[in-house]
């Protein structure tokens, strides 16, 4: 008997006992669907989160001053920024500050999340101005009263995105100064988000109902407004492609420590973005694998159900087996027939589980707003698991059927 005949008999047997077959496959369906959904969503979530960090610069390095332990002399200066920039393999370097202020125009009044840096900050974060330009090195060194706005803030303040040349009043620490708008930056670039995230983001909702704008100003101006002239709490820099990030980062940290005469490891913190990417990738992979392994337990339950139903099938078809053996069917032929039926039963369940799992993954991805893709490896897992279960749990019933002697089988009712 060839493989096609075995498949025909197996399909006929499954169709004849359709309800019983579906109930038997239920464990396989649930198990495969769970594993596929978890792996697909886990991979999509990992790629999404890691991608966000990579967008911030996979070769970016940050040195931060511990404000709780640092003295005034420990804070970073413009000379420190220039010293780090001169190191081998350092491409761009900028002080990096965050603060909150208030933006006022004729028809607009709002709190503003402020990002401050030098002229390199736009290159470090790969921020391109949609309208106008970024501030220059000269404007940074002179602390000019200039700013860039996010597209959303420009729309709220002036009713249009392109408001280059307009003036806003910026207030921080009870100091109010006029700032000339020289550039407009996409919200997505300014917050290092995707365009979809930026367009759907409600800053007012994020800030608990408080209206919030976004503005960028030179770090030198920000330091003056916050009464910290030439004092910065952190610097960001990126390396040339292919550079040893750990080596460059430690060299920069040693330069800072030497310049300030402080070798206390608790004062300065070195952060390398690539290390966070690797760590995050490993954590998510471990978590996804663990959850998928727990879900796969249902596959074992499903396999036991397949073994049980195949044993019932062998008992019901004992006379059929005896007749076929009496007519010359070999032991291997009988065994292969029942093994084929077991594998097909599991493959059908695996296919249904694959479709269900992908559907669940797409639904979850839609709710969480993360992109996912069903990989070929995921399909291979579904087919492989289903086949393995069919073979493993089908061997014993198939072997039991094949070992029946013709006389014993024909004698049973």
pLDDT digits 0-9 by tens, 274-319: 666 667 777 777 877 777 777 777 777 777 887 877 777 777 667 7
More confidently predicted of 189 and 9: 9
Q: What is the pLDDT of residue 385?
A: 73
Measure the CA–CA gap between 296 and 392, rounded to whole angstroms. Answer: 15
Q: Report pLDDT digits (tens) over 77-92.
A: 999 999 999 999 999 9
Burial of 278 (0-12, 13-18, 19+ CB in 10 A): exposed
pLDDT value at 202 more than 60: no
Measure the CA–CA gap between 384 and 252, rounded to whole angstroms. Answer: 50
Find the range with the poorest average confidence among 5-14, 151-160, 307-316, 398-407. Answer: 398-407
Query: Where is mean pLDDT largest: 13-22, 104-113, 397-406?
Result: 104-113
What does pLDDT average to over the chain? 80
Find the range with the poorest average confidence among 70-74, 235-239, 301-305, 397-401. Answer: 397-401
Measure the CA–CA gap between 154 and 110, rounded to whole angstroms. Answer: 12
User: What is the percent of the chain where pLDDT is above 90?
Assistant: 18
Q: What angle do CA 302, 305, 308 make, to 5 degrees?
A: 155
Mean pLDDT value across residues 14-41: 81
Nearest to 156 by CA among 98, 203, 222, 207: 203
Q: What is the pLDDT of residue 138?
A: 93
Q: Measured on CA atoms in the order 54, 57, 63, 64, is the torsion positive or negative?
A: negative
At 404 the three-state DSSP class reads coil
Q: Which residue has the tokens 């409600």?
A: 202
Q: What is the pLDDT of residue 201?
A: 42
Mean pLDDT value across residues 339-348: 82
Find the range with the poorest average confidence among 8-12, 64-68, 315-319. Answer: 315-319
Mean pLDDT value across residues 27-33: 82
Q: What is the DSSP string of 89-114?
A: TEEEEEE-EEEEEEEEETTEEEEEEE
More confidently predicted of 147 and 392: 147
At 179 the three-state DSSP class reads strand
More confidently predicted of 281 and 171: 171
pLDDT value at 257 more than 80: yes
Using pLDDT thresholds of 50, 70 and 90, give the confidence band for residue 194: very low
**Per-residue exposure over 95-107, b if at least 16 CB sit within 10 Å of its own CB, e if not:** bbbebebbbbbee
Q: Report pLDDT digits (tens) over 120-164.
A: 988 887 788 899 999 999 999 998 999 999 888 898 889 898 999
pLDDT value at 16 more than 70: yes
How close are the terminal C-alpha atoms of the chain, in Å?
26
Measure the CA–CA gap between 262 and 259, rounded to whole angstroms. Answer: 8
Burial of 25 (0-12, 13-18, 19+ CB in 10 A): buried
Q: What is the pLDDT of residue 255?
A: 92
pLDDT value at 56 more than 70: no
More confidently predicted of 169 and 396: 169
Mean pLDDT value across residues 218-229: 87
Pairing of strands 167-172, 108-117: unpaired
């Amino acid at each position: 008997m060839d493989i096609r005949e075995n498949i025909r008999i197996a399909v006929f047997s499954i169709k004849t006992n359709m309800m019983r077959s579906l109930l038997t496959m239920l464990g396989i369906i649930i198990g495969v669907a769970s594993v596929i959904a978890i792996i697909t969503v886990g991979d999509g979530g990992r790629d999404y989160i890691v991608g966000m960090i990579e967008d911030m610069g996979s070769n970016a390095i940050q040195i931060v001053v511990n404000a709780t332990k640092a003295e005034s002399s420990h804070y970073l200066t413009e000379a420190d920024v220039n010293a780090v920039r001169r190191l081998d393999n350092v491409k761009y370097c900028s002080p990096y500050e965050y603060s909150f202020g208030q933006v006022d125009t004729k028809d607009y009044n709002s709190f503003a999340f402020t990002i401050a840096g030098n002229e390199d900050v736009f290159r470090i974060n790969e921020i391109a101005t949609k309208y106008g330009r970024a501030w220059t090195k000269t404007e940074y060194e002179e602390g000019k009263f200039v700013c860039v706005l996010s597209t959303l803030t420009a729309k709220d303040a002036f009713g249009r995105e392109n408001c280059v040349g307009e003036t806003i009043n910026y207030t921080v620490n009870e100091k109010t100064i006029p700032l000339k708008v020289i550039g407009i930056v996409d919200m997505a670039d300014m917050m290092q988000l995707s365009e979809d995230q930026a367009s759907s983001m409600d800053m007012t909702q994020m800030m608990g109902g408080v209206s919030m704008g976004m503005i960028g100003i030179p770090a030198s101006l920000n330091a003056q407004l916050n009464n910290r002239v030439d004092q910065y709490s952190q610097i960001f820099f990126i390396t040339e492609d292919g550079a040893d990030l750990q080596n460059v980062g430690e060299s920069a940290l040693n330069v800072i420590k030497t310049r300030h005469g402080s070798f206390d490891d608790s004062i300065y913190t070195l952060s390398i973005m690539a290390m966070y990417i690797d760590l995050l990738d490993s954590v998510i992979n471990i978590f996804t694998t663990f959850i998928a392994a727990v879900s796969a337990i249902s596959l074992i339950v499903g396999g036991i159900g397949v073994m049980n139903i195949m044993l019932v099938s062998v008992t019901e078809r004992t006379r059929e087996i005896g007749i076929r053996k009496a007519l010359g069917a070999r032991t291997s032929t009988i065994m292969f027939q029942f093994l084929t039926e077991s594998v097909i039963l599991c493959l059908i369940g695996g296919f249904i589980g694959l479709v269900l799992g992908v559907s669940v993954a797409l639904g979850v991805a839609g709710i969480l707003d993360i992109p996912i893709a069903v990989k070929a490896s995921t399909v291979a897992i579904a087919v492989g698991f289903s086949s393995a279960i069919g073979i493993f749990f089908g061997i014993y019933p198939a072997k039991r059927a094949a070992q029946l002697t013709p006389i014993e089988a024909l004698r049973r009712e």
